[in-house]
Chain A
Amino acid sequence: MATESPEQFDQVDWNDLSRSGRFDLSINSIGMLVTALPLALLGVYDWRFVGDRTATFEFVGLDRTLETVDFLFIFTLLLAFWYLVLPLYQNPRRTRYYWKEFKRNRPAVVSLGWLGIVFVGGIVGPLVMNAPQQELLIAYQPPVFTSVVDTTPATCVGEVINGRCHGTWQHPLGTTNAGRDVFTMIVYGMTISMQIAFITTTIVATVGITFGTLSAYAGGWVDEIMMRFTDIILSFPTFLMFLLILYIYGAGLGMFIVVFSLFAWGGTARYVRSKSLSISEEEFIKSSRISGASTYQVIRGHVVPNVASSIITQLTLLIPGFLLYEAQLAFLGIGDSTVPSWGQLIAAGRSDLSFAPWIVLAPGIVLFLTILAFNFLGDALLDALNPEAEAENA
């Protein structure tokens, strides 16, 4: 419903706008269904018919495999496209307004640019770059524009001047102790970070919004029980519980994402509950009720959309925590060692820190910048989406 020219109230064809039933789908939902269905079928196919060691795309001759986490990631990407990017395109006027508000915060624009790089790098990178290979001969190559004593690398790829090995563009950020290219590993780490960011956010948002609105609308003792349950979730020491689960069962990246997101929605649910309570007191809710909207229609059409836009900030600020936890676990050597995350790279370079600091510095700085960018972005989104808070935060 792109409204380029202002519509006149008496010319609106209400039959077009009113939805006849609750199963009357919007273009977004149709698109979501059409794209998610093949993915689900592929998932089932991968799960039931493809052997553990066979690549998913064996049947078309591609040697690429998809893990459970990858399927979830693609699913959340589809969700983000149909329900976040497309609505922004459908409402150009509102998008322009948000952008105008957002643009005023310069660090946030830079942050958005950086996160865009990480996002695109994470999605495109693994498709166009080969996974970093172990090549012991070229271990400890310094980054480009720097040099180390030529005894540090086994053989120097670049030129040796005055007994110092100089870095080359072949390995712009140097190589690790196993001769893996640091830049490639960082690009591969972007995928992991984006997977963590997207999947956890989706789970937290889904559970948090559902739980919060249900609790607000149920009221009475149901509300009481649900909120006390949220209290328990909130005071749960997730990091330690994850250590315990890791100790007992062992855990990969998927388990990490599930455990951390299932214990992170407490704050979101609380916020959604109080927000939906205050929204349900608004005049427009009353008027839609008088017009005969059912509770489901009110929640689906008015409460959830209003709440969703205001929890975006909170979700943005949750992501850095997850990235940090993943890096911490990897650093401790108890993370998922099969995934090439930034934390794994930091952990790998730690023992060589005194003579090959780039192995730790490069992924550490990238991690730092990403966390910083999410924080700036959250701050700016708060101002853009919620003009009332501006007075405090400007």
Chain B
Amino acid sequence: MGFGRYVTARVLWAGVVSLVITTITFLLLSAAPNPDVQQATTQAALQGGDPAAAAERARELRGLDEPLYVRYFDFIQGVYTLDWGWSSSRSQPVLEAVVGALYYTAQYSIPWTILTVILGPLVGVYSAANMYSWRDHAATGFAFFGYAIPNFFFGIILLLIFGVWLEVIPVVYNTDVAVFSVENVVQLAIPVFVLVTGSIGALMRVSRNESAEFQNSDFMKTAKAKGVSPLRAYAYHVMRPTLVPVSTTLVGQLLALFLGSSLLVEVVFGIPGLGRLTFEALLSQDTNLVLGTTLFFTFVAVVGNLIEDLVFTVLDPRISYDDR
């Protein structure tokens, strides 16, 4: 299988996966009682009307009386044409709400990702180069600390120390400040720090262990014997082969954090991003918005895995396409 065909097959597969997940979501939703219908029934019963008729009317209004497959195709069509419906709790189209929230999520996600990607392998390789020194132990300790401390707990503690006791950072996130301003940097510093400590640990460990293998390899000895400077030797001969296995950990790590912890961090720091949007939609029983945010995160996960696989094959020519 050539590279082109591999990419095509992989992209098609990503499409299939997203379709499967969307279908499962649809089945979950259609098997459950619709909160809107329940609401209409309750309202009718309270006002002395006929609950059954009200439920029937509400179902008709939302097209729930159609057969399952018709609703399914409508649903799939809506999802893939980005027609995600109307959010009743926010009184705006779901897509608009998602894009608006993404603006805030991106403000901390981008610095966080960049810092993790740059610092993780660097510290890992550095710690491998100084293996068993106090620097290595310090880095390892930091990695385990960041990996083990629950992000939301760490966030609360830092917010308590810097926000409440020292009053260095604002306790409540301020949406009015400009994106590229000192205030914004100050208020996003702690969330970014929390997320970086959470994601950098695994990356540091993997790059440390992987690069330890290349330290004593023949090509490293040759390079040293030829008088290549240590910086160049590490940058060219150790870093590059290390990055291949690291890249697979990286995407998985970042995605897991993005999908799980960013929600918590947004709730803790009061950032009105995607995570909080999902959370608030859940609390206010806004089905369309719950669905929209869930599907958005799902697509991010699918695309992330796709990119990971593609990057992996580009980076490492030894991988044959047939094995994957």
| Cross-chain contact of B260 among A249, A320, A325 (Cβ < 8 A) | A325
Pick from A143-151, A172-180, A287-295, A346-354 the stretch touching chain B: A346-354
B150 near A353 with CB under 8 A, answer: no
Tell whether B290 is near chain A: CB-to-CB under 8 Å. Answer: yes
Tell whether A247 is near chain B: CB-to-CB under 8 Å. Answer: yes
Alpha-carbon separation in the docked complex, A368 to B153 (Å): 9
Alpha-carbon separation in the docked complex, A125 to B136 (Å): 39
A243 near B150 with CB under 8 A, answer: no
Alpha-carbon separation in the docked complex, A325 to B157 (Å): 19
Q: How many residues on B have C-beta within 8 angstroms of the other chain's C-beta atoms?
A: 43
Pick from A67-75, A211-219, A231-239 the stretch touching chain B: A231-239
B259 near A371 with CB under 8 A, answer: no
Tell whether A245 is near chain B: CB-to-CB under 8 Å. Answer: yes
Interface string of A315-339 (1 = CB under 8 A from B): 0000010001101100110100000
B32 near A249 with CB under 8 A, answer: yes
Tell whether B147 is near chain A: CB-to-CB under 8 Å. Answer: yes
Measured CB to CB, the closest approach of chain A to B115, in angstroms, equals 22
Alpha-carbon separation in the docked complex, A361 to B305 (Å): 36
Tell whether A367 is near chain B: CB-to-CB under 8 Å. Answer: yes
Binding site for A on B (CB under 8 A): 13, 17, 20-21, 24-25, 28-29, 31-32, 144-145, 147-150, 152-153, 156-157, 160, 164, 209-210, 212-213, 259-261, 263-264, 267, 278-279, 282, 285, 290, 294, 297-298, 301-302, 305
Measured CB to CB, the closest approach of chain B to A137, in angstroms, equals 27
B144 near A375 with CB under 8 A, answer: yes
B301 near A244 with CB under 8 A, answer: no
Write 12 A-B pairs (CB below 8 A) sorted by A numbering. Answer: A239-B263, A324-B150, A332-B264, A353-B164, A360-B153, A360-B156, A367-B150, A367-B153, A371-B149, A372-B144, A375-B144, A375-B147
Alpha-carbon separation in the docked complex, A240 to B278 (Å): 9
**B299's closest neighbor in chain A, by CB?**
A237
Tell whether A82 is near chain B: CB-to-CB under 8 Å. Answer: no
Prevailing SS type, chain A contact patch: helix
A375 near B160 with CB under 8 A, answer: no
Measured CB to CB, the closest approach of chain B to A9, in angstroms, equals 39
B298 near A240 with CB under 8 A, answer: yes
Known contacts being A240-B294, A334-B282, is A364 close to B157, with CB within 8 Å?
yes
| Cross-chain contact of A393 among B145, B209, B260, B263 (Cβ < 8 A) | B209
* Interface positions of A from 341 to 388, Cβ below 8 Å from B: 346, 350, 353-354, 357, 360-361, 364, 367-368, 371-372, 375-376
Binding site for B on A (CB under 8 A): 228, 231-232, 234-237, 239-241, 243-249, 320, 324-325, 327-328, 331-332, 334, 346, 350, 353-354, 357, 360-361, 364, 367-368, 371-372, 375-376, 391-393
CB neighbours of A237 from chain B (8 A): 21, 259, 294, 297-298, 301
Measured CB to CB, the closest approach of chain A to B312, in angstroms, equals 14
Alpha-carbon separation in the docked complex, A55 to B263 (Å): 39
A328 near B282 with CB under 8 A, answer: no
Alpha-carbon separation in the docked complex, A270 to B149 (Å): 28
Residue from A247, A357, A371 having most chain B Cβ neighbours under 10 A: A247
B153 near A245 with CB under 8 A, answer: no
A331 near B160 with CB under 8 A, answer: no
CB neighbours of B24 from chain A (8 A): 241
CB neighbours of B285 from chain A (8 A): 247
Known contacts being A237-B259, A244-B290, A376-B144, is A328 close to B264, with CB within 8 Å?
yes
Alpha-carbon separation in the docked complex, A328 to B213 (Å): 37
CB neighbours of B164 from chain A (8 A): 353-354
Known contacts being A328-B260, A357-B160, is A248 close to B298, with CB within 8 Å?
no
B153 near A346 with CB under 8 A, answer: yes
Alpha-carbon separation in the docked complex, A283 to B277 (Å): 57
A244 near B156 with CB under 8 A, answer: no
A245 near B160 with CB under 8 A, answer: no
CB neighbours of A372 from chain B (8 A): 144-145, 148
CB neighbours of B144 from chain A (8 A): 372, 375-376
Q: A249-B32, A375-B148 are in contact. List 15 more A-B contacts (CB 8 A).
A: A234-B305, A236-B301, A237-B294, A237-B298, A237-B301, A240-B259, A240-B278, A244-B290, A248-B29, A328-B263, A328-B264, A332-B267, A334-B282, A350-B156, A375-B144
CB neighbours of A360 from chain B (8 A): 153, 156-157
**A346's closest neighbor in chain B, by CB?**
B153
Measured CB to CB, the closest approach of chain B to A177, in angstroms, equals 16
Alpha-carbon separation in the docked complex, A191 to B148 (Å): 20
A-B complex: 8 closest residue pairs judged by Cβ atoms: A372-B148, A248-B32, A364-B153, A371-B148, A239-B260, A235-B305, A392-B209, A237-B301
B264 near A243 with CB under 8 A, answer: no
Measured CB to CB, the closest approach of chain B to A329, in angstroms, equals 10
CB neighbours of A235 from chain B (8 A): 17, 21, 301-302, 305
A244 near B294 with CB under 8 A, answer: yes
CB neighbours of B278 from chain A (8 A): 240, 243
Alpha-carbon separation in the docked complex, A361 to B153 (Å): 9
| Cross-chain contact of A331 among B157, B264, B294 (Cβ < 8 A) | B264
A328 near B150 with CB under 8 A, answer: yes
